[in-house]
Chains A and B, each alone.
Chain A
Amino acid sequence: MEGKPVRVVCFVNQFFGQLGGEDKAGIGPQSMDGAVGAARAVQQALGDAGTVVATIACGDNYAAEQPERAVSELLALVAAAKPDLLVAGPAFLAGRYGVACGALCAAVQAQLKIPTVTGMHPENPGVELHRRHVYVVQTGAEATRMLDEVKRLVALGLKLVRGEAPGAPAAEGYFPRGITRNVVTGASAADRATAMLLDKLAGRPFASEVPRPAFPSVPAPRLVKTLQGATIALVTDGGLVPRGNPDGIEALNATRYGAYSIEGKSSLEATQYDNPHRGYDTSWVKQDPHRLVPVDVARELEQSGAIGKLHETVYSTVGVATTLAHSARMGAEIAEQLRAAGVDAVILTST
């Protein structure tokens, strides 16, 4: 890219494209040659490094009311200008505009395989919707410091065009995308830990290197029946599978679970089961599967009437290094099947 000016396309709404105010919010996508309206700030920030070859504008309502159609029409206009980089917005606190900027950036990256960058205020709904996939630079709420803020967008955009790895979110001014990447710091982790502890001991501020997880808390539902009338299912993430592991459940980082019938079984015969779990010592469970999935005791409770019925299917997966996304999906699928089968409560054994 050295020496060759970068071809930039800008995306703006009707207001920043100087097409009009809220009365023109229904206007459809259109392409204008060169830098128009807010895109002039982008050209100024680019200097000799690049040229705004087209400014593409779209009304806020048009984009918000038919997002798929708007994005596909905008994508065609962007492609026609053959850019190396898309700069969308900045949208500041304008919600419809921000959402459209994020959606167009995501589509352009995916379809045209070119880098994109946009800018928004932290409270713009476009940030939460798109920051995981798109570089969204943090801006103020209004366009009062337009050129300064556009300069940061452009600097990041040029890095992306040159194939340089952007620095940390705080250094470059973009919202963290929630992905991790190994970087080499100036000190060993041990020395960083000592320094952090000394700061903590002295009451000085310190920056933990791992964000607190934002796991949503799931309240346990109340059992509305008595246990004597309830159907109870056994579910485990401890990895019990029939011998031969018919569903091929992974030893680590599982993406699959199995549903195994216990119909007609008053207990589990150790020789018929196996356990691929690589996260704990499975020898005790292999010796006696009831240590993980207590079918024997549950049948006794069923016989004695302490519980209404034992559900005839046991669900099992391997819970070790499993991603949150797969855990949530598998949990939802298992819960769906249990509910459809009329199960009232679950005993979930973990390891």
Chain B
Amino acid sequence: MRLELRWSEVRELLAGSATRLVGPRLEVDLDALRAQLAADARLGEIRLDLVHPGERCRIGRVFDVVAPRARLDGEDFPGVLGAVARAGDGRTLALAGVSVVTTDQQMDSIGTLAVIDMAGPTAAMSPFGATHNLVISAWASPGTGRSEYLAAIRLAALKAAVHLARAAREAGPDRVEVFALPPSPRVPAELAHLPRVAYVFQIHSHQRPTGLDEGILYGDPVRRMLPTIVHPNEVLDGAVLRGFMGRSVTTWATQNHPVIRSLYAQHGRTLWFAGVVVTVAQATEPERVRSAFQAAGLVAHALGADGAVFTKIGGGAPHVDMAQAASQCEALGVKTTVLVEDMSTDGSAEGMLLFDLPDVDAMVNVGSSHEPLTLPAMDRVVGADDLVPRLIGEVATTYGAVCGAIEQVGATAVMAEVR
């Protein structure tokens, strides 16, 4: 499989009479885009805002962030937006410097919602504080249920992401990034000495059951999914989306997957990237045990890996689930490293982990989302009209409230250090 990401740099984002890319300036026909999004009967009022790096603006009620991408040789976000078809092979338009932010106008428990700051120290903590952002605020039409609403606002973000990226169709890319990985067993003789490394990617946690329209893997809500092998390019090219839960996980980070990028960067030099196993964190012990040994079996026996990197998604049960799968790998002689969150809720080092497995001894941590953090005052709030009085001034919150500051897949350089 060979994926070309054809990148265009965007340095300016503004409303225009047509959506087009003129050099580094992206003009967006907001009326046309709004009309396209309004075709979804699950949505009523829709508002689109443009916000920019350096602006004293806070985006509230952040639900998910999507990177603008449009495929030239296949379906966009297959199974969710486009028809079910393979992704990961061919050419895909990609815009750098722009993100699509979709907001959740229903959630009452605002402590669970994230923000993005466009200026000040909290802007520097997140990649989305440095991109021009198209912010979608959409309200449910009468009779739309919670899960349908979330499906609709996520779909709106995907449509907008494709709409923006298609503007680069006529422009030549500023740079082309190639992701090419031959079928796993075919290692050239001169590289056969390299250790084979797999990535085990937990893509959902059954702590909360998925909605029927909560497509995560090629549109499948992964309700009965057993560990399975995918090509890393499929992940980068829209086959895997974030479900409807949780902070510290964005679709943007999946589209720019840091572990996959890291393994690709070393591929053929210090390691051989043997492939990706996707898993789901299970809800019951027999399911967890089954998933752990099956994932380990795929890594060791099907991919023939010598080593594997693991990430989790969600809270405590996924943390343990991941560790059990890693332990099963170690039992089969596969060396592992796991990316963990600091799970302590009171900042004590003894609460960082929820497991104690002697063979899972190589841990990288992605930081503590519970660490207290004060957001500075801003001049403007978008995406959360009803919360302006609570969000415009200084806000006492936690690290995890800043969308993009901590990603469970390890996108940022933050680490919780024991002091």
Residue positions of A touching B, CB distance < 8 A: 166, 168-169, 176-194, 196-198, 200-202, 206, 208-215, 252-253, 279-281, 283, 320-325
Given A193-B339, A279-B317, A179 and B349 contact (CB-CB distance below 8 Å): yes
Stretch with Cβ within 8 A of A (4 or more), from B4-12, B40-48, B211-219, B255-263 = B255-263
A178 touches B270 (CB 8 A): no
Closest-CB distance, B257 to chain A (whole angstroms): 8
A177 touches B362 (CB 8 A): no
B206 touches A182 (CB 8 A): no
Q: Does B415 contact A (CB under 8 A)?
A: yes
Bound Cα distance A38, B175 (Å): 65
B195 touches A198 (CB 8 A): yes
A182 touches B362 (CB 8 A): no
Contacts of B283 in A (CB 8 A): 280-281
A206 touches B362 (CB 8 A): yes
B366 touches A189 (CB 8 A): yes
Residue-wise interface mask of B (318-352) relative to A, using a CB-CB cutoff of 8 A (1 in contact, 0 not): 00000000000000000111111011111111111
Q: Does B76 contact A (CB under 8 A)?
A: no
Contacts of A279 in B (CB 8 A): 207, 315-317
Given A178-B418, A320-B316, A323-B348: 8 more A-B contacts, CB < 8 Å:
A180-B344, A182-B368, A183-B415, A184-B413, A184-B415, A189-B366, A190-B258, A210-B340
Q: Which residue of A lies closest to B195 (CB)?
A: A201
Q: Does B384 contact A (CB under 8 A)?
A: no
Q: How many residue-residue contacts, CB under 8 A, span A and B?
A: 197
Residue positions of B touching A, CB distance < 8 A: 195, 197, 206-209, 258-259, 261-263, 265-266, 270-271, 283, 306-309, 315-317, 335-340, 342-353, 356, 358, 361-368, 371, 399, 409-419
A186 touches B413 (CB 8 A): yes
Q: Which one of B206, B337, B371 has the greatest number of beta carbons of chain A within 10 Å?
A: B337
Q: Which residue of A lies closest to B336 (CB)?
A: A197
Q: Which 8 A-B pairs have the closest CB atoms?
A: A189-B410, A190-B258, A190-B410, A180-B416, A210-B363, A197-B337, A193-B364, A190-B259
B262 touches A188 (CB 8 A): yes
Bound Cα distance A198, B353 (Å): 23
B356 touches A213 (CB 8 A): yes
B197 touches A197 (CB 8 A): yes
Contacts of B347 in A (CB 8 A): 179-181
Bound Cα distance A159, B361 (Å): 34
Contacts of B415 in A (CB 8 A): 182-185, 189, 192, 209
Contacts of A190 in B (CB 8 A): 258-259, 261-262, 309, 339, 409-411
B414 touches A183 (CB 8 A): yes
For A321, give its contact among B306, B343, B349, B367 (CB under 8 Å): B343
Closest-CB distance, A90 to chain B (whole angstroms): 20
Q: Which residue of A lies closest to B270 (CB)?
A: A198
B271 touches A321 (CB 8 A): no
Contacts of A198 in B (CB 8 A): 195, 266, 270-271, 307
B356 touches A215 (CB 8 A): yes
Bound Cα distance A349, B216 (Å): 32
Chain A binding surface SS class: loop
For B207, give its contact among A166, A202, A281 (CB under 8 Å): A281
Q: Which residue of B lies closest to A212 (CB)?
A: B356
Contacts of B342 in A (CB 8 A): 180, 210
* Interface CB pairs A-B, < 8 A, 29: A166-B419, A168-B419, A178-B348, A180-B347, A180-B352, A181-B416, A181-B417, A182-B399, A182-B416, A184-B415, A189-B339, A189-B364, A191-B265, A193-B262, A194-B259, A197-B335, A202-B195, A208-B364, A209-B364, A209-B417, A210-B353, A212-B356, A213-B356, A214-B350, A281-B206, A323-B348, A324-B348, A324-B350, A325-B348
Contacts of B263 in A (CB 8 A): 194
Q: Which residue of A lies closest to B308 (CB)?
A: A197
For A182, give its contact among B195, B350, B353, B414 (CB under 8 Å): B414
Contacts of A188 in B (CB 8 A): 258, 262, 410-413
Bound Cα distance A184, B340 (Å): 16
Q: Which residue of A lies closest to B405 (CB)?
A: A182
Q: Which residue of A lies closest to B399 (CB)?
A: A182
Closest-CB distance, B265 to chain A (whole angstroms): 8
Contacts of A187 in B (CB 8 A): 413
For B418, give its contact among A179, A200, A214, A281 (CB under 8 Å): A179
Closest-CB distance, A101 to chain B (whole angstroms): 20
Bound Cα distance A177, B418 (Å): 7
Bound Cα distance A180, B266 (Å): 31
Q: Which residue of A lies closest to B416 (CB)?
A: A180
Closest-CB distance, B390 to chain A (whole angstroms): 21
Contacts of A179 in B (CB 8 A): 347-349, 418-419
A213 touches B413 (CB 8 A): no
Contacts of B306 in A (CB 8 A): 201
Contacts of B351 in A (CB 8 A): 323-324
Closest-CB distance, B78 to chain A (whole angstroms): 25
B419 touches A193 (CB 8 A): no
B419 touches A176 (CB 8 A): yes
Closest-CB distance, A252 to chain B (whole angstroms): 8
Contacts of B345 in A (CB 8 A): 252-253, 321-323
B258 touches A180 (CB 8 A): no
